[in-house]
Amino acid sequence: MTDFSENEPLAISITGIRARNDGSEMQITAVMENGTARDVHKLVILTEQYCALKPKKGPITEEQFEALENAARLCGALRSGQSSLAYGSASVLHLTRKIMRRGYSKEEAAAAAERLRDAGLINEDAQVEREVEKCLRKLWGARRIQSHLWAKGFSKEALAALPILLEPVDFAGNCAALIRKHCGSLPEEAAERKKLYASLTRYGYSPEEIREAFRLTQA
Q: How many CA atoms lie within 13 A of 117 on its CB side?
A: 21
CA angle 91, 141, 157 (to 5 degrees): 30
Across the chain, mean pLDDT equals 93
Give the pLDDT confidence score for residue 11 in this predicted structure: 92
Give the pLDDT confidence score for residue 174 in this predicted structure: 97
pLDDT at 156 over 80: yes
Q: How do residues 171-212 score in pLDDT, each as one tens digit?
A: 999 999 999 999 998 998 999 999 999 999 999 999 999 999
Average pLDDT over residues 75-90: 91
Give the pLDDT confidence score for residue 47 in this predicted structure: 96
pLDDT band at 7 (very low <50, low <70, confident <90, very high): low
Give the pLDDT confidence score for residue 78 in this predicted structure: 96
Other CB atoms closer than 10 Å to residue 49's CB: what's the count?
A: 20
Please name each of the domains of the chain with its CATH number: 11-118 (1.10.10.10), 124-218 (no CATH)
Identify the CA nearest to 145 among candidates 122, 169, 126.
Answer: 169
Backbone angles phi, psi at 25, to 5 degrees: -135, 160
Average pLDDT over residues 139-162: 93
Give the pLDDT confidence score for residue 117 in this predicted structure: 92
Q: How far apart are CA 155 and CA 129, in angstroms?
A: 13
Identify the CA nearest to 132 among candidates 121, 141, 119.
Answer: 141
Q: How far apart are CA 126 and CA 182, in angstroms?
A: 31
Give the pLDDT confidence score for residue 3 in this predicted structure: 61
- How many percent of the chain have pLDDT more than 70? 96
Other CB atoms closer than 10 Å to residue 7's CB: what's the count?
A: 7
pLDDT at 144 over 60: yes
Q: How do residues 37-52 score in pLDDT, each as one tens digit?
A: 889 999 999 999 999 9
Q: How do residues 90-132 score in pLDDT, each as one tens digit?
A: 889 999 999 999 999 999 999 999 999 999 999 999 999 999 9
Give the pLDDT confidence score for residue 4 in this predicted structure: 54
In terms of Cβ atoms closer than 10 Å to its own Cβ (0-12, 13-18, 19+), residue 85 is middle
